[in-house]
Structure 1
Amino acid sequence: MRTLLRLFTIVALACAPAFAPSAAFAAGGPQVLVVTTGNEAQDVADYAVERLQMEARRWNFTLIEGTPEDLTDLGGIDVVMFLNTGPDLLDGAQQASLQTFVEGGGGFVGTNSAAASAADWAFYQEMLGATAVLPPGDPEAKEPVSFNAGSRITEGLDEDLEVTERWYRFDPAPVAPDSIILAQLGSGDPVAWNSEAYNVFYASPGGEGGTWGDRDFLQLIRQGIWWAAGEEGALVQNSDDAAPPWPYTWTFVLFVVAVAGGGSIAVWRLDKAESAKEAEAGGAPPVAAGV
């Protein structure tokens, strides 16, 4: 048993680097303050934040969960995200702080009901470039969402996204040149766009949990966050969080085998020496008398 415990310790120490947390996550990338206050479905909001935390670890940005009160001090924040937020969200001081932040180049990302979170605030409608028509429709059967090429936000999204959603309609709707339409329904109604005047990105999907489980939608959101943060470089996956390539995998396996093999020999020799000392200290075992 003692030998097995020692051998297990050696192997665990050899494997420890593979399970260390990613330093890139601690180092950062864009700092994103996400607010879900007033959402109509807490289970959807919780699931969305959980998925975004996974995206943050993998794609090198930091997600900070907050409330409207946190908007009064946005120092160190690169992007404010309203994730399915409810109506009448902000008081006067919070509105003033968010407006100063956006006008100063800060990023804003909204999903689903965030379009209606400040219906009486003129600047909010201006930065979104559209006004939501309330109430939204009931969840409909899956509808295809087609993406428009030519934007870093939609890069790599070549196939239609199909999701069941409570689609918001807009009047006025976003139009060029103030807004760049990134995605639309088959009817032509826009469902995702970004502002030309501000670092603002909005996506109408996100009200249903299944949407947050769709890889294409998550790609759209993370690329929207990266764009809103003003990042010029390509969005690159953290190598520490991704599966290592084949050569590295086999090199690591051989390393563990070598360490475990060398350790087992050392443990065997140590146990042999200890057994000899115990036998010497205790004396030779008695010999049974002959019959």
Structure 2
Amino acid sequence: MKFKITFFTFALALLTSLAAFAQQGGQFRALVFSKSTGFRHQMIPDGVYAIKQLAAAHVFSVYTTEDANHFTDENLAKYDVIILMSTTGTIFNDAQKAAFQKFVQSGKGVVGIHSATDTEYEWPWYNQMIGAYFLAHPRQQTLRLEVVDNTHPSTWHLPKNWLWTDELYEFRNVNPNIKVLINADETTYEPAKPMGANHPMAWYHEFDGGRVFYTALGHVEAVWKDPDFLKHLYGGIWYAAKGKTLK
């Protein structure tokens, strides 16, 4: 009986400590921003919910908003990483742009999901930061994704050949300095505007003092319950927040 009581007391203390750690921000603090002024993706609620679940599982804190007024120096200083959840269109005014740039320049991280590349077409800094602009996509199809770099936490768990079904983006104005993680094999599906052998679908890079991870995946609601995709996304979030890769 004494052992059971002692064990229960220890377990309760551990859970209390973990809860307190999470309330203090856990490993890091994430801001999920999902404002849309263009096309509105139906998967946004699924994505926000999934990231909240990731936060609970991996002990980090998350705040969600669609209010761009949250982008001030004072507010953004609270966070380690901004997650752009399928944003579209023009979503920031000049003051908010300046706060976002200062956030990145201070050494913080940004994660772009799916249509984060369909955002802020008149802002060159954003184009270079996120890595590319959306050009087109065909109908939803299955294809072979080729994992070309498994030294990044977003791809550690993935096979070289990853069979995937999604809305498959094609890009323009690709930043030549991005480090491609996953490439689309255009011979395995019917693209709308082919990019050829170099067709990135996920990438990362260091930019203007900060860290950026982007994945074009995530349009289909069902993928937000896919364990491999969620590990891919969390690896990108962890990298952007903490700067961890294999050297």
TM over 0.5: yes
In the TM superposition, what are the counterparts of 1:130-141 in structure 2 within 5 Å? 130-133=132-135, 135-138=136-139, 140-141=140-141
Task: Give the counterpart of 1:201 among 207, 210, 213.
Answer: 213
Give CA deviations for 1:95-143 in whole Å, capped at 9, x if unaligned.
111011112211100111110111110100111232221x4333x2222
Query: Do the aligned partners of 2:85 and 2:114 also contact (CA within 8 Å) in 1?
Result: yes
> How far off its partner does 1:159 sit?
5.2
* Cα distance in structure 1, aligned partners of 2:48 and 2:65: 11
* Cα distance in structure 1, aligned partners of 2:245 and 2:181: 20
Q: What secondary structure is seen at the aligned counterpart in 1 of 2:166?
A: coil
Structure 1 match to 2:120:
118
> How far off its partner does 1:179 sit?
1.1
Task: Give the counterpart of 2:79 among 77, 80, 84.
Answer: 77
The letter of the residue matching 1:48 is G
Q: What secondary structure is seen at the aligned counterpart in 2 of 1:183?
A: strand
Structure 1 match to 2:236:
224
In the TM superposition, what are the counterparts of 1:45-124 in structure 2 within 5 Å? 45-67=44-66, 68-72=68-72, 73-124=75-126
Give CA deviations for 1:231-273 in whole Å, capped at 9, x if unaligned.
5499xxxxxxxxxxxxxxxxxxxxxxxxxxxxxxxxxxxxxxx
Q: What secondary structure is seen at the aligned counterpart in 2 of 1:56?
A: helix
Aligned length: 217
Which structure carries more strand by proportion? 2
The letter of the residue matching 1:85 is T
* Cα distance in structure 1, aligned partners of 2:219 and 2:115: 7
> How far off its partner does 1:221 sit?
0.9
* Cα distance in structure 2, aligned partners of 1:213 and 1:98: 30
The letter of the residue matching 1:145 is L
> How far off its partner does 1:26 sit?
2.3
Query: Do the aligned partners of 1:31 and 1:62 also contact (CA within 8 Å) in 2?
Result: yes
* Cα distance in structure 2, aligned partners of 1:205 and 1:124: 19
Which structure carries more helix by proportion? 1
Query: Do the aligned partners of 2:29 and 2:61 also contact (CA within 8 Å) in 1?
Result: yes
Q: What secondary structure is seen at the aligned counterpart in 2 of 1:205?
A: coil
* Cα distance in structure 2, aligned partners of 1:233 and 1:124: 24
* Cα distance in structure 1, aligned partners of 2:137 and 2:205: 22
Structure 2 gaps of 5+ residues are: 1-7, 187-196
Query: Do the aligned partners of 1:163 and 1:210 also contact (CA within 8 Å) in 2?
Result: no
RMSD over aligned Cα atoms: 2.5
In the TM superposition, what are the counterparts of 1:22-37 in structure 2 within 5 Å? 22-23=18-19, 24-27=21-24, 28-37=26-35
Structure 2 match to 1:256:
none
The letter of the residue matching 1:122 is P
> How far off its partner does 1:17 sit?
4.3
**Quick check: which has more Rg, 1 or 2?**
1
Give CA deviations for 1:210-240 in whole Å, capped at 9, x if unaligned.
2212111111111111110125499xxxxxx
> How far off its partner does 1:53 sit?
1.1
Q: What secondary structure is seen at the aligned counterpart in 2 of 1:99?
A: helix
TM-aligned CA distance change 1:149 to 1:233, over 3 Å: closer
The letter of the residue matching 1:57 is A
> How far off its partner does 1:46 sit?
0.9
* Cα distance in structure 1, aligned partners of 2:122 and 2:76: 23
Q: Does residue 210 of structure 1 match 2:222?
A: yes
TM-score normalised to structure 1 length: 0.67
* Cα distance in structure 1, aligned partners of 2:160 and 2:55: 24
Range 159-168 or range 111-120, more displaced: 159-168
* Cα distance in structure 2, aligned partners of 1:217 and 1:71: 28
